[in-house]
Structure 1
């Protein structure tokens, strides 16, 4: 169903009364977990796909629909879990992308590298993200998300084996393998949110190198509405070498921290080394000019 259809349904008197929402759904604002869970657990009692969200609270790189109000984005919502997949068609039209960056309040110079990807060749394309720990939560039928150990694929698969899921034994008819002995201890592991922080590759222009760091969305509410100091982002669990500066707030998604540092910065001291700066600028000139 579309976002507009979902809002209209939630605003019907019977659903407003049954849902007892702390925050009344309003067109143009994102759904809270109470709205998502009501749709999946009370109304439909199964996974729901919602698409064509308002552009106001979605990222500028999501493709603008013909109505000029919504973007071609979709979320997959699952009972007892919430959003498990979020994705969108990406904006491949250069003029529209540049306009959307300006609309979002972002500094166009900060995204020059991204605009260049469209300027020098692109095709219609899309992308999505899947919450792996939420997927494991569904497969293991674990209700509290805090009980999911979010590390790597090997550990996640081990949790599957140690769970109480019935798995058919190969070449043995009507048989299952069950392992309950370690299931409880596996489920009681507590995650460290910092282990879920994601780091982009570095990208450069003729003056700086850049990277973005994606914090778990659970951290978003605790972020101040300003740039973070090095002490503050390190306290959040961000681990990177010296010299990086949080230089811009990604307004559509403030849990994505944008960092940069001057070319030639010594990662051990955080200071610009003139020889390293010269080498970095020469390398950039040779690669991009």
Structure 2
């Protein structure tokens, strides 16, 4: 490969409570709307404040502050708020935020992993220092899992004995900065007793790839998220393909983004496939295609 993978990413910055700034990638965003009249949803999660009509469809709207543990926005605050319409994990979701600030361009290498002291309940996947302000990048997958816990239920996928044994013989590495996504990935393979390794960032994944190659058990299949602090999925794929000494794995980029642009770019950096989260059947079938190549 002749050029380095670009990691430039645009982030939308917004506030939920007080002066603290949060951010999400703009590739997840369809539109930003002023607050509008919502239709109430009976028996819904307390953070779901209703549905908005967006391009002819009813889209659930989540008070993001309430979902992550801040006080919900009051009626007067809602009137001044904005709704961010997102396209995540094959569904449109609206997020009510106190105020939208700006869109900035950044580099994923500048994003720092959240401190381990925050534990597993923190709704952030990374921190970014912008002119002295610390931006918290929200783990939208974790937020949605808290609001819609049924989304974590892993669908039952039927494999033949031959297919199951084929995957069990492979060295599979999975990487995702979202704890929810890691659990979904792990649950799929655990249900079939398929061994694997899993890590939370691209830098560690690259070191595992290099280590296992040196130990004579090279990685056969790499499943990686795209948006991650440090080494993101695009550059991880590029680095693997650019290393001629490595036995080349079958690379599946696995993302919550539905953007055609982000998925098409996966091929440019050397990925074999790009899948939108989360469909267990699609993932296992992609791994089986990778198994065919590994033979």
TM range (shorter): under 0.3
**Structure with the bigger percentage of helix:** 1
Larger Rg: 1
**Structure with the bigger percentage of strand:** 2
Structure having greater relative contact order (Cα 8 Å, sep ≥ 6): 2
| TM-score (normalised: structure 2) | 0.26
| TM-score (normalised: structure 1) | 0.27
